[in-house]
Amino acid sequence: MKKYLITGLLIWIPLAITFMVLAWIVNTLDQIILWLPEGVQPKVMFGFNIPGVGLVLSVLIVLATGLVAANVLGQKLVQVWEAVLARIPVVKSIYYSVKQVSDTLFSSNGQAFRKALLVQYPREGAWTIAFLTGKPGGDAAQHLAGDYVSVYVPTTPNPTSGFFLMMPAADVIELEMSVDEALKYIISMGVVAPAPRRLNERPALLNE
């Protein structure tokens, strides 16, 4: 009986959590409908709410924004918008900090979160998964002798929080696994381990 109960839970718990997360996302994005004039809101037009309309509208807004910003006129508008934000002290600090991080993460030629690493943390002899985020810069780099890399060590099971470390490149091991595989490994607390790609080879030291 216990075996069947556990088997059933293993099937239903991931499904339930998945649907809960999707429902939360849809309900949150549906709030964008409140931006529309009251006369064209689905509840007024049809007499009832239509789940997912806000999600579709959000996707369309993002696509339209990207389409406009991709041409010369759109780039000029973005520059004007950023110039306006640059004149607002508090908004300027928040906006440019977030923009710098997002540009780094989503840049097609950037190195942030492009490689999964194995590092010793929080002490020597204890190993964990980390992600390469680049190389130290600014004044911090002037005080580091040798070749260093910047890494992000996520927490488990929530990888959105973690620690930023600057470590010697010689102490970092590059893993033969994708970033997605590493994230699954972290979120599952080591239960869902990715299959090794090269059984007879030890991961190479990061040298770039």
Strand partners, 119: 128
How many domains does the chain divide into? 3
- pTM for this structure? 0.55
Task: Give the C-alpha separation, 64 to 182, whole Å.
Answer: 33
Q: Is residue 203 situated within a structural domain?
A: no
Per-residue pLDDT, 42: 74
Q: Is residue 201 situated within a structural domain?
A: no
Over pLDDT 70: what percentage of the chain?
A: 88
Q: Which domain holds residue 54?
A: 1-70
Res 77 pLDDT > 50: yes
Residue 202 — pLDDT band, cuts 50, 70, 90?
very low
Per-residue pLDDT, 166: 95
| Half-sphere exposure in the Cβ direction for 38 (13 Å, CA) | 0
Same domain (yes/no): 3, 41: yes
Same domain (yes/no): 65, 79: no
